Structure 1
Amino acid sequence: MKKYSLILFVIMTQLSFAQNDSYLWLEDVENEKALNWVEEWNKKTLAVLTEHNSYKGIYNKNLEIYNSTDRIPEPTIFGNFIYNFWQDKEHERGIWRRTTIKSYLSKTPEWEIILDIDNLSGKDNIKWVFKGASGLYPDYNKFLISLSKGGGDAVVIKEFDVETKSFVENGFYVPEAKGNTSWIDKNTLMVSTDFGDGVTTSGYPRQVKIWKRGTELKDAKLVFEGEKDNMGVWGYTIPTQDKTYQLIMRYMTFYTAQYYVLEKGKLVKLELPDDIELAGIVNDMVILRLKSDWEVNDQFYKQGSVITAKYNDLLRGKPDFYLLVEPDERSSVAGLSSTKNMLLVNMLNNVKGELYTYKWDGSWRKHKINTPELGNISLAASDENSDNFFFYFENFLEPATLFYGDAATGDYNKVKSLPTFFPTEKYKVQQFETTSKDGTKIPYFVVGPKNMKPDSNNPTLLYAYGGFEVPELPSYSATTGTAWLEKGGVYVLANIRGGGEFGPKWHQAGLKANRQRVYDDFHAVAEDLVSRKITSPKKLGIFGGSNGGLLVGVAFTQRPDLYQAVVCAVPLLDMKRYNKLLAGASWMAEYGNPDIPEEWEYISKYSPYQNVKKGMNYPEVFFTTSTRDDRVHPGHARKMVAKMSDIGYKIYYFENTEGGHAAASTNEQRARMYALIFTYLQMKLMN
């Protein structure tokens, strides 16, 4: 009887919220009425922002930056070639091209265009967006190209021949879905997609099949099937000289998964904790990242550590584990990569990058590479045929520089740097700490003029994310520099909980019932900026996207007294229905399940859509989203705008008709979006 009563209560609660929500029609993305509503709002917002005296200059400068031929061509190594996807003025939708490693390292690389996305879009009359390519090891003469219609996560996958520069006639083709494919050999794929039997409640694949060339996709052999309420199931391969590892990941939730391998056609489950991350296989050693403490074989491994085991031992269920990295309270592993013989580990130490190499010879031998200091290191491409690799270094005032190194010796050379688009010598970077509501120390960076006065009058933009164990790191932004810093603004990056700056513990401190800690951290940074007289509430703006959009939505509804301007981009806002919209169900491990009364109780206290009230002194928020966002539903932003407008609040709204979750597909669209954002910020905080 109790169980029945609880179920009935949940059903009645859901019906009540649905009946009381008069804006549900805006969740119908392509509905004519909804699209007309979007068009009207776009017109109103563009009429104000594009006519502002700041807009044209910001837009033109943005477009110059995005189209600059001095940008670093991001490298991806396949065999003897470096591949790169490139967009500029002449190639709006982009070209996929390649060059030799020797040519790439020269001052003027000679590029060979492999695929022109603009030509393909014109031919097919579809606004294609290039979403990556998977090559056939070891010759890489065939690729599986992923293409999105308008920039969403769902892709069409087609086989491509780089020698003939054409799609393979009657080759492998996977219809549009949120799936993926991997090569087993030239005639065999491992495929995770919607095979017509349904997907998970999160909209991701729940089946993995082996597909042979010359057969129909519907006839592919099923090798694994997950449950409907799993987040998703994916198969992938790791090709090496000795063998091709075939792995399957069954994600029960966003943070829990079971790993399986296919050996001689048989499925073998790896006996590992559900919250462990299998990060790769190097020289037959499986690399594992721990999300929680683990005691195994009479050994204790701390949360956040990286451990390894021999593949065959793990397969037999009798592994010996070897400790690779054990971070402390203020450090974490930011990235892992491998060359032919070496493992590369990118560490964060108090939100500053360090780079190490490890070599296995019965135990792991560690060496620190003497990289530039006080900035953000990110691993780029690595070479499976040698120990060479690429990495980036940047910080707020140093443009990204690409280096080419030898992991075996630790030596490296500069390849190319981004140009400096604004006079960085005029600015300084400071790192502060403040105390959150529960006593936790929260670090943040402040970028501003060297002669900045503590007079509470500096226009300040505060940015944070605070979710999904994603660290926010010092990075160079030419658009922020030219459109904000050069105009007299101050930029602040907050390293709040929920992120990954200090490992899994920092992230888990803000999960589910503890979510309010994330928002308290954000408020604490804002209050500290005011108390230090860097700025004042009338001069303070905030910016966040996706989960960060939820963050700033909570911020202005909880503390409207702190903020004068809010940019809320591709946001989650209706936390009562988020798990029913697109990929939302996959995030319940982060936020909780609003259909469970006990969990809705804490979610309801911060959900912006439910907490908007009449008679509040809210700032004039600028909401942005994309019609083609198939990850975070555009209905979140649409409904919030409609509700706030009907209550009587002045707001701004712009919805790009393509672009997916990034809200932009071309350089022109990116230039326009950020011109609108910075025009709004200048209008609210500087004029």
Structure 2
Amino acid sequence: MHDDDAPIARVAPVGAVAPGTTPRAARTGPDLPPVPEWLDEIEGPQALEWVTRRNQETEAAYAADAGFIELAGDIETILDAPDRIPAVTERAGLLYNVWTDADHPRGLWRRTTWLDYAATAPSSSGALPPAEPDWEILLDLDELGRQEGRAWVWHGAQVLATGPDRGRRALITLSEGGSDADVTREFDLSERRFIPAEEGGFYREASKGSMVWADEEGQSVLITTDLGRGSTTRSGYPRQALRLHRGQSLAEAEVLGTAAEEAVAVSAAYDIHGRTWLSTLIDFHTRRTWLLPSGIRFPERTCAGPLPEGESIAPGAQRIDVPPSAHISASRDWLIIELREAWEPEDQQDQKDQKGRAFPAGSLLAAPLAEFLEGRRRLTALFTPTGSTSLESVVWTRNHLVITVLDDVVTRLEVLTPPARPGHEEWTRHDLDLSAAGDVPVSPAIDHTDLRAGRPLVTVSARQVDARSGDDLWLSVSGWTTPSTLRVARLTAEGSLQGMCVLRQAPARFDASGVTVSQHVAISTDGTRVPYFQVGRAGGDGASGPAPTILYGYGGFEHSLLPGYQPVMGRAWLERGGVYVVANIRGGGEYGPAWHRAALTGNRLRACEDFAAVAAGLVERGVTAPQQLAVHGGSNGGLLTGMMLTRHPELVGAVVCEVPLLDMRRYTHLLAGHSWMAEYGDPDDEAQWEFIKEFSPFHLLRPGLRYPPVLLVTSTRDDRVHPAHARTMAHRLRALGQSVTYFENSEGGHGRASTNAQRAFMSALVYEFCWRSLAS
């Protein structure tokens, strides 16, 4: 009997589960050992004592090893490298950056001028650039944390970009320990200080909410926050959006809208054209959105009394009548609609040839905003998916819409330009010529590449510099063996590239000589073709024999896994001779909404079947062998690897679950879990539990089976996916006599770490665990 098999404490979980909502029978199965209820208590003394013992065991096995120490040190050096690209955002004509290094582990918020940043760009002659830009330090988070006794983690800032205080006021959001719950405080950039509430400064208490500017002058904000009992949804997010004017208390703020109790959250935003938008998130994939009339002051709150049970929207708000699953955005006179499901609008006036036309899921549509609000549906299809293409993202500059298209999981960019007057001309289109970005490496045309050999297996991403003032773009290029490059480009009035220059080029961080990058296809159980990327020195055809291999996956929430430079993985895995594989399985977004919906709720097992097919394909091709294959994933990816552990233990030699979901019987009652029912289903509905239990790893363990070794990693401060998922799984695995390594960071939130030193330790732990497990 393990030393943690103590009697169950009869103490209500703290900040975890509503009493009486999850019967103890939900924790047990056929002959499965029970787990103590006190593991749900996030900071309960018994739980933290158990965590401390597990951490000590892990540190004793790894932290004193000379090789591990060297690896962690090398990773930290990479993360703290002074010559990495300082990512910047333009606000009010200046460039802002958050910088961390060994001397500033929590970070410096700083800014510089365009002239300084451009002057330190790499020279085309290869000469060393001048010294670093002259950075103006605005806020030192380490010093702030020492003064206030808080482990602050940066969560972003919104600098006022207009009005008399342009560039002088900001709303800064900080999290204690990296949790999702955070605070927002108004900051005076001229005086380098937070403005106290008694001086009229805006302030939001800790919650999973938000606060953003609500006007051009900086005299009001839009705020969502925890207002007390009944003001948050079952998922823990605010139900009510308010507009707060300077000098008001929350009790006096204007109520813009209230989400229903069973919804996920409410949100509000103020765009660069002076419009206020309100959304209620019905579930994780559906929402309703309203445009609020400008210049109207809504009735002020007279008390902070009980909120209405249902949805309540301010008078005069105009509903954007699109399918609730659609994503919308607006710029200038145009409404942009990204469809997640097929849509046949009831009225498509002025388009007789399109009457009755259904736009397929994954389409991108444009409509004149004013006409749309009047009920007319003059819709233009800007993008229609094919069997190999899907829409990844859209970005507005001042005059153009830049779309990123995935073509068999590789990006290409297009620039779309609206007519000067809606309805008078057609949109024009230009491919953004990547050759103008300089040499872009291509994957070698090797025999066993299954998807279009010779294509550049890199990711090119675009974001606007300042959509208020012009058509400049930030362009980033990165690949598995291609260090990141940051460029700035300018679009002409017609939408073609006028000029481009390299502002930063990251150096190589690992030895990539002899590393081959390729793309392949596995065939899933139902015949679906599942692509995957393979990176490593192994020939890929088995000629050099099976190699230790990590297979990484996610497969959820329409999130796509794309090529990108991973220096930590390269140093910790590829340099050792390992192979790294990324699977683009269903549930993700690599082939658009249909790819995602194919693995929702009752079809969730398809994600695991796809992942297993890739694992089997790697073995069949001789790249690796089951005892030399590790599977790795985090969050929803941790659920995926937990499924591989319990459903396909014969295919893998090691399993890494980071910040995972594992107990799918109780997930809706643990922190934010209720918000993911649209993805997984409702386990409290017994009919749905019948399919959910087939992908609940915590319940799929069976006594008497020998499972591959498991590494479980989580954070005490993770207030999104409850650490009880990892804790209880580790406890049950130990009780079954299995090999399990457990580590729980004391901070870091869902990102598992708050500083580069913490990230280096945990990354080294993952790669060293995999190497030891696969080499034994």
TM-score bucket of the superposed structures, by smaller chain: over 0.9
Shift of 1:317: 2.4
Deviation at residue 104 of structure 1 after TM alignment: 1.6
Per-residue deviation, 1:331: 1.1
Deviation at 1:451, TM superposition (A): 4.9
* Partner residue in 1 for 2:698: 609
Q: In 2, Cα distance between the equivalents of 1:19 and 1:644?
A: 13
2:430 counterpart residue number: 367
Structure 1 residue identity aligned to 2:657? C
Bigger Cα displacement from structure 2, 572-581 vs 322-331:
322-331
1:420-443 Cα distance to aligned partner (Å, 9 max, x none): 011223201111111100010001
User: Is the contact made by 1:23 and 1:643 (CA closer than 8 Å) also made in structure 2?
Assistant: no
Q: Distance in 1 between matches of 2:502 and 2:433?
A: 13
One-letter identity of the residue aligned with 2:581: V
* Contact residue 52 and residue 679 of structure 1 kept, 8 A: no
Alignment equivalent of 2:526, drawn from 433, 438, 442? 438
- The letter for the 2-side match of 1:250 is T
What's 2:143 paired with?
119
Tell me by how many angstroms 1:195 deviates: 1.8
CA distance in 1, matches of 2:341, 2:706: 43
Deviation at 1:571, TM superposition (A): 0.2
Distance in 1 between residues matched to 2:156 and 2:397, nearest whole Å: 21
Asked whether 1:569 is paired with 2:632, we answer: no
- 2:221 matched to which residue of 1? 189
Tell me by how many angstroms 1:310 deviates: 1.8
User: 1:456 deviation in Å?
Assistant: 4.6
The equivalent of 1:401 in structure 2 is: 485
- Where in structure 2 are the equivalents of 1:326-341 lying within 5 Å? 326-341=384-399
Task: Name the counterpart of 1:17.
Answer: 26
The reply on whether 1:447 has 2:535 as its aligned counterpart is yes
Partner Cα distance (2:285, 2:271) in 1: 22
CA contact (8 A) 2:626 2:652 kept: yes
- How do 1:526-545 and structure 2 match up within 5 A? 526-545=615-634
User: Structure 2 CA distance, aligned partners of 1:136 and 1:12?
Assistant: 45
The alpha carbon displacement at 1:379 in A equals 2.4
**Does the Cα contact within 8 Å between 1:195 and 1:218 map onto a contact in 2?**
no
Partner of 2:152: 128
Q: Which has the larger radius of gyration?
A: 2
Task: Indicate if the aligned counterparts of 1:337 and 1:382 stay in contact, CA closer than 8 A.
Answer: no
Give CA-to-partner distance per residue, 1:542-580, whole Å, 9 cap, x none: 110000000000001111111111111000000000001
Judge conservation of contact 1:98–1:112 (CA < 8 Å) in 2: yes
The answer on whether the counterparts of 2:538 and 2:547 sit within 8 Å (CA) in structure 1 is no
8 A contact 2:293–2:317 mirrored in 1: yes
Kindly provide the CA deviation profile for residues 76-101 of structure 1, in whole angstroms up to 9, marking residues without a partner as x. 11120111111001111001111112
Give the equivalent residue in structure 1 for 2:319. 269
Counterpart contact for 2:72–2:761, Cα < 8 Å? yes
Amino acid at match of 1:651: V
Equivalent in the alignment of 1:294: 343
Distance 2:554 2:751 in 1: 15
- Structure 1 position 587, deviation (Å): 0.4
Aligned: 1:487 with 2:576: yes
SS of the aligned residue for 1:93 comes to strand
Deviation at 1:110? 1.7
Matches of 2:722 and 2:426, distance apart in 1: 48
Select 1:673's aligned residue among 729, 747, 762: 762
Larger CA deviation: 302-311 vs 143-152: 302-311
TM-score (norm. length: structure 2): 0.85
Equivalent residues of 2:405, 2:411 under 8 A apart: yes
Q: Which residue is 2:676 aligned to?
A: 587
Aligned counterpart in structure 1 of residue 248 of structure 2, from 215, 226, 232: 215
Contact 1:95 1:117 in 2 (8 A): yes
| 2:364 equivalent among 306, 309, 329 | 306
The 8 Å contact of residues 538 and 579 in structure 2, kept in 1 or not, is answered as: no
Q: Which AA in structure 2 matches 1:440?
A: T
Matched, 1:60 2:110: no
**Where does the alignment leave 5 or more consecutive residues of structure 1 unmatched?**
1-10
The match for 2:472 among 388, 396, 400 is: 388
Tell me if 1:147 matches 2:152: no
Measure the CA separation in 1 of the matches of 2:366 and 2:223.
28
Q: Secondary structure at the match of 1:431?
A: strand
Q: Matched residues in 1 for 2:114 and 2:398: separation?
A: 16
SS of equivalent residue, structure 1 residue 654: strand
**Alignment RMSD:** 1.6
Could you say what secondary structure the match of 1:523 adopts? helix
**Counterpart of 1:529 in 2: which secondary structure?**
helix
User: Per-residue displacement from partner, 1:297-323 (whole Å, max 9, x unpaired)?
Assistant: 223312101111122222222231121
Match of 2:311 in 1: none
Q: Which residue of 2 aligns with 1:5?
A: none
Amino acid at match of 1:376: T
- Alignment partners' CA distance in 2, 1:628 and 1:115: 24
Question: TM-score with structure 1 length normalisation?
Answer: 0.96
Farther-moved stretch of structure 1 (122-131 vs 404-413) = 404-413
TM-superposed deviation, 1:272? 1.2
Match of 1:254 in 2: 284
- 1:569-594 per-residue CA deviation (whole Å, 9 max, x = no partner) reads 00000000000111100000000000
CA distance in 2, matches of 1:305, 1:140: 38
Structure 2 portions without partners, runs of 5+? 1-19, 121-131, 297-315, 349-354, 420-424, 435-439, 441-455
Contact 2:397 2:464 in 1 (8 A): no
Contact 1:282 1:343 in 2 (8 A): no
SS at match of 1:424: coil
Q: Is the 8 A contact 1:24 1:639 kept in 2?
A: no
- The residue identity in structure 2 corresponding to 1:137 is A
Match of 1:510 among 594, 599, 607: 599
Who is 2:334 aligned against? 285
Q: Which amino acid aligns with 1:47?
A: A
